[in-house]
Chain A
Amino acid sequence: MIAVLALLAGVLLGLWLDPTVPAALQPYLPIAVVAALDAVFGGVRAKLDRIFDDKQFVVSFISNVLVAALIVYLGDQLGVGGQLSTGVVVVLGVRIFGNVAAIRRHLFRA
């Protein structure tokens, strides 16, 4: 419940403050968001599996975001930023799909 509230509070804060993303961060923000979403879905799945561990969740969340941003940064430096970010999004998307499928199995037994 607190997690959902925190998420909502963050969304409202973002809508209310309406900050402008600095140009240097613009390529990384979407990837970071997707990576964080992956971590969140993984956390939900772990919770449903009753193997949720908050420290692990925190570490995986932060490392996901950092690694994703690092990969995109590396790709930008190598000149393949667009392709590499696409690849990161694909991988994270596959993982999110897997997690969501596991959650669905838990919730609906199907």
Chain B
Amino acid sequence: MSDEHTQTGTGWPQPAEPARPDGPAGEPDPRPEAPDPDELSPLSPQGHPSEEEEPSAAPDGSVSAEPAEAAAVVPPWRRLSSAAVMIVVLLGLLGFTLAVQLKMTTTDSSLAAARQEDLVRILYDLEAREIRLRQDIAALEESQRQLRSGEQGRQAALEEATRRADELGILAGTLPARGPGLTVRFQAGAKPISAVRVLDAVQELRGAGAEAMQISGGDRATVRIVASTYFLNGEGGSLIVDGRPLTGPFTITVLGDPATMRTALNIPGGVVASVAGDGGNVIVEEREVAEVSALHDPRPLEHARPVS
């Protein structure tokens, strides 16, 4: 203690001389910033304003080294020794680190501050959870795959069934149909158009690949022609088709390949020739889009049963 005090004692008179205006070369900055004497007084440890006065009041009481220092009248900021500068620097550093540490701890206090065992346990828990979730994912993906394949199969079956139902519906006359085809118009001459001629035409068209047919009379009454349709001669040149009387002129609308069917109707000795022989006329018109809209009421099957 004594030698330190003598050191500071030797350090003090020196700033009084103009030869040493600056402190240590290492820390020159705090010194010009702090020129106020009242700022210095609490820090500069040897300042001790009370101690300066105490020894003068009470001569050589407890402290022996102080009076010599206090005797030197120095501007207060000059008394900032290198150690005091060091103290300032160190305290600034302490505040800095304190703030940094506090900030770091508060920013990520959740995991960074946790102990190693806790971290290991948390990691273990997370891994176990991950494994469980992975298993869940695999199971769910498997069931999703199964459901999707099942749904795809069902979808395909449904499409196939719909397609077959459409085909069969058109064939059985229970569904309206449209497509390329012909309209065949029978105009009676001297003799009325007989059912045989119409039936011939229907057979000819079927042979030429007709897929759907309907026959309509002059009063717009229309009958779908299916496998079981029959034609009878009615009274006064009318036709009875499936029990419904139709008056002439009759028009058959047929869906199929127009060229083939037209050729089939026009063959020598065919429908057109026969009707012309009876004095009538057959007008065949090709249609890009013909429409067969009349429906046949299906009869419930009483005896036949599907095999399967």
Interface residues on B, range: 35 or more
Contact B30 A2 (CB under 8 A): yes
Contact A18 B97 (CB under 8 A): no
Contact A10 B95 (CB under 8 A): yes
How many residues of A are counted as interface, with CB atoms below 8 angstroms from the partner's CB atoms? 41
Segment from B12-20, B39-47, B160-168, B215-223 that makes contact with A? B39-47
Contact B40 A2 (CB under 8 A): yes
| Minimal Cβ-Cβ distance residue in B for A14 | B99
Distance in angstroms between the alpha carbons of A21 and B46 in the assembled complex: 37
Nearest CB in chain A: distance from B28 CB, A: 15
Q: Please judge, given known A-B contacts A54-B81, A54-B86, whether A6 and B100 are in contact too, CB under 8 Å.
A: no
Contact A2 B43 (CB under 8 A): yes
Does B196 belong to the interface (CB within 8 Å)?
no
Distance in angstroms between the alpha carbons of A57 and B43 in the assembled complex: 12
Nearest CB in chain A: distance from B217 CB, A: 97
Main SS class of interface, B: helix
Chain B residues near A61 (CB, 8 Å)?
A: 87, 90
Does A56 belong to the interface (CB within 8 Å)?
yes
Does A51 belong to the interface (CB within 8 Å)?
yes
Segment from B1-9, B179-187, B287-295 that makes contact with A? B1-9
Residues of B73-97 contacting chain A, CB below 8 A: 81, 83-84, 86-97
Nearest CB in chain B: distance from A20 CB, A: 8
Chain B residues near A9 (CB, 8 Å)?
A: 92, 95
Q: Please judge, given known A-B contacts A10-B92, A14-B103, A55-B83, whether A32 and B43 are in contact too, CB under 8 Å.
A: no
| Minimal Cβ-Cβ distance residue in B for A61 | B90
Interface string of A63-106 (1 = CB under 8 A from B): 00000000000000000001000000000000000000000000
Chain B residues near A10 (CB, 8 Å)?
A: 91-99
Contact A21 B100 (CB under 8 A): yes
Does B104 belong to the interface (CB within 8 Å)?
yes
Does A3 belong to the interface (CB within 8 Å)?
yes
Q: Please judge, given known A-B contacts A33-B98, A36-B97, whether A1 and B4 are in contact too, CB under 8 Å.
A: no
Chain B residues near A30 (CB, 8 Å)?
A: 101, 105
Nearest CB in chain B: distance from A11 CB, A: 4
Contact B42 A3 (CB under 8 A): yes
Distance in angstroms between the alpha carbons of A62 and B90 in the assembled complex: 8
Distance in angstroms between the alpha carbons of A9 and B93 in the assembled complex: 9
**Nearest 9 A/B pairs, CB to CB:** A10-B95, A14-B99, A54-B83, A10-B96, A10-B92, A7-B95, A6-B92, A11-B95, A2-B43
Interface residues of chain A, those whose CB is within 8 Å of chain B, are: 1-15, 18-21, 26, 29-30, 32-33, 36-37, 40, 43, 47, 50-58, 61-62, 82
29 residue pairs from A and B, CB less than 8 Å apart:
A1-B38, A1-B39, A2-B43, A3-B87, A3-B88, A6-B87, A6-B88, A7-B91, A8-B95, A10-B92, A10-B95, A10-B96, A10-B98, A12-B99, A13-B92, A14-B95, A14-B99, A14-B100, A18-B100, A18-B103, A19-B100, A21-B101, A29-B97, A36-B90, A40-B91, A54-B8, A54-B81, A57-B83, A61-B87
